[in-house]
Structure 1
Amino acid sequence: MGKFKRRFKSFLLIVAFLFINVVIDAAAGAGTVILIVKLKGDLADIKDTVYGLLAAQIVKFVILYIYINIKNRKSAEPFIKDEKIKNPLLISGIGVGVAGFGLLFTNCIVAAFKDSEVVMDAIDSLEKVLAADTIWGQAVVLFVTIIGAPIVEELLFRGFLFEKLTKYVSTKSCIILTAIVFAYYHFNIVQTANTFFIGLVLAYVYYKTRSIKASILVHMTNNAIAMVPIFDQGLSAIGIAIYLIFLITGIYSLRTLRQADKEYLTGRTA
């Protein structure tokens, strides 16, 4: 297959991937709003948005589960690599580092563009999406953020998309492309650069460990830390100290992962 043809097919794959995800998100969101309106008898509140996210995650997970099982039955090798991880603390350390980068980066953006309506509106919209005024709603927010998003997004981006793209582009290009698509999917002036960086790390972790469990764990760790308000201390001395400790932990863990061989990561013996 020629280089141009491979690139064109990878482009079509990415476009189709994004289109299907947007359609599912829109349909799940609209369906959830209609259901809430029928149950409540009035217009759905902005705080009900999280239920649409949950519905979309459930739909995507079911579709992925069916697709992956069909692919696995047709091949001796699993479609998405899922080897057991022997060193979960090492993988979690990478998630800590990613969270530290995200907290530092976001606070720097806020400080640099605090007078920008566009930036502040973006931050406000993120807060509203994850807002909840009931215990049940807060539980759903935590589930969607810490469990649902890491599992579904990793199966989608580092699983399905990564494995599909490897047929058409190099591993390096695959890591970069999946990170770009991941950032575009989370399009937000505050989130985009951060999610691109996270996407690079997650794709590398998946490639290095050959385990979707590893990238899910990194993603879960990052999101869990992001949901704990005490860690976000702005650009105060305490805040910067926290972020740097997180970053050092992540860099050390990532370097250890880079130097480790497959047997060390999965516990397999030659």
Structure 2
Amino acid sequence: MFKKIQKMKGQVLMIIIILHLILPLFTYTLATTFLYLAVPLEPLFATGLSAVLNIPVLLWVYFYDQKNRGYSLTESFKLTNSPVSICLLGAALCILGNSVVEVMGLTRISKAYQEAANALYSPPFALQLLASGFVIPAAEELIFRGMIFASLRDKFSFGLSAVISAGLFGLYHGNLPQGVYAFLIGLAAAWLYERTKALSAAFMLHIPANLLSLFITNTKLSGLLFQRGHAAVTVAVVAAAVVVTVFCIVRIYWKNNLKEDIV
């Protein structure tokens, strides 16, 4: 009887995990698609408005899940011990992620990326800042870390949960360059969430990364940082980003008083 109950609990947990993998992405994507096709709105505006409409529901579900896990609402959005290090880590990972994408030549071979870039960077800069810099990252962190990663982590190891959630985050972006970049950011965000137990830490990583990416693109710094004709500048910037990344990871690790490696 006991084994049967345990098996039923396991099945219920798996159903909950599957629902957390499907429903948030489905509703968010459905709302975005409707706003884009039926209203119609520009892609970035539609995605940002969809995020605004979905965030209250996502917050409610996330808070409900956290309560069942035994965490208070204040714990999920507490100010972490190392906010500056987290923001710097986000900026450094932005540089490293874009460098990886450029070295692999992914932006030049992906037609889907060119279409996405036009949709992201053609609207007014103020809209880019509000939507891509703040609103969309908030919705994405609630979905991919707050719901998908956290639900997977209830059942599986950190490594598997992080890879699956980051992989889904990458696939969600719909093109290879953004997918690779998002996968790296997703792994880092999952690690932060695991370390701090606060979704606010993932926000602090994601938002600076997006803001710096917007700044680099809109000021044409990408031509200076990631082109072969400026190899010395690229090497210096990437080396600095590596140093900052390592420093911030070590500092965050010890500031959160976790002495054992994650299994």
TM-score with structure 2 length normalisation? 0.79
Q: Which structure has greater helix proportion?
A: 2
Output the amino acid matched with 2:35. Answer: G
2:102 to 100, 107, 121: 107
Summarize the alignment of residues 226-265 of structure 1 with structure 2, pairs less than 5 Å apart. Answer: 226-229=213-216, 230-232=220-222, 233-235=225-227, 236=230, 237-262=232-257
Shift, 1:129, TM fit:
1.7
Summarize the alignment of residues 112-131 of structure 1 with structure 2, pairs less than 5 Å apart. Answer: 114=108, 119-131=109-121
Instruction: Give deviations 1:129-178, integer Å, cap 9, x for gaps.
Output: 21335xxx432222111101221111111112222222221223222221
Are the aligned partners of 2:82 and 2:252 in contact in 1 as well (CA < 8 Å)?
no
Q: In terms of mean alpha carbon deviation, does 234-243 or 214-223 score higher?
A: 234-243
Are the aligned partners of 1:225 and 1:231 in contact in 2 as well (CA < 8 Å)?
no
The separation in 1 between residues aligned to 2:188 and 2:150, in whole angstroms, is 16
Are the aligned partners of 2:24 and 2:58 in contact in 1 as well (CA < 8 Å)?
no
Change in 2 beyond 3 A, CA 1:28/1:187: closer
1:55 and 2:49 aligned: yes
The separation in 1 between residues aligned to 2:142 and 2:38, in whole angstroms, is 28
Residue of structure 2 in register with 1:187 after alignment: 174
Are the aligned partners of 1:14 and 1:181 in contact in 2 as well (CA < 8 Å)?
no
Shift, 1:212, TM fit:
1.0
Output the amino acid matched with 1:130. Answer: L
Shift, 1:64, TM fit:
1.1
Residue of structure 1 in register with 2:33 after alignment: 29
Summarize the alignment of residues 15-94 of structure 1 with structure 2, pairs less than 5 Å apart. Answer: 17-18=21-22, 20-36=24-40, 48-71=42-65, 77-78=71-72, 81-94=76-89
List runs of 5+ in structure 2 lacking aligned partners: 1-5, 259-263
| C-alpha RMSD of the superposition | 2.9
Q: In terms of mean alpha carbon deviation, does 196-205 or 178-187 score higher?
A: 178-187
List runs of 5+ in structure 1 lacking aligned partners: 37-43, 264-270
The separation in 1 between residues aligned to 2:67 and 2:95, in whole angstroms, is 40
Change in 2 beyond 3 A, CA 1:249/1:177: same
Change in 2 beyond 3 A, CA 1:12/1:70: closer
Shift, 1:62, TM fit:
1.9
Change in 2 beyond 3 A, CA 1:148/1:225: same
Shift, 1:8, TM fit:
10
Residue of structure 2 in register with 1:98 after alignment: 93
Instruction: Give deviations 1:169-199, integer Å, cap 9, x for gaps.
Output: 1223222221122112223111222221211
Shift, 1:22, TM fit:
3.6
Are the aligned partners of 1:82 and 1:210 in contact in 2 as well (CA < 8 Å)?
no
Instruction: Report % sequence identity.
Output: 16
Shift, 1:227, TM fit:
0.8
The separation in 1 between residues aligned to 2:198 and 2:31, in whole angstroms, is 31
Output the amino acid matched with 1:95. Answer: G
The separation in 2 between residues aligned to 1:262 and 1:156, in whole angstroms, is 27
Q: In terms of mean alpha carbon deviation, does 91-100 or 201-210 score higher?
A: 91-100
Output the amino acid matched with 1:66. Answer: W
Shift, 1:207, TM fit:
0.7
Are the aligned partners of 1:81 and 1:210 in contact in 2 as well (CA < 8 Å)?
yes
The separation in 1 between residues aligned to 2:201 and 2:39, in whole angstroms, is 36
Are the aligned partners of 1:94 and 1:249 in contact in 2 as well (CA < 8 Å)?
yes
1:164 and 2:168 aligned: no
The separation in 2 between residues aligned to 1:213 and 1:195, in whole angstroms, is 18
Are the aligned partners of 2:94 and 2:210 in contact in 1 as well (CA < 8 Å)?
yes
TM-score with structure 1 length normalisation? 0.77
- Give the aligned length: 243
The separation in 1 between residues aligned to 2:63 and 2:24, in whole angstroms, is 20
Instruction: Give deviations 1:184-221, integer Å, cap 9, x for gaps.
Output: 22231112222212111110011111111111111111
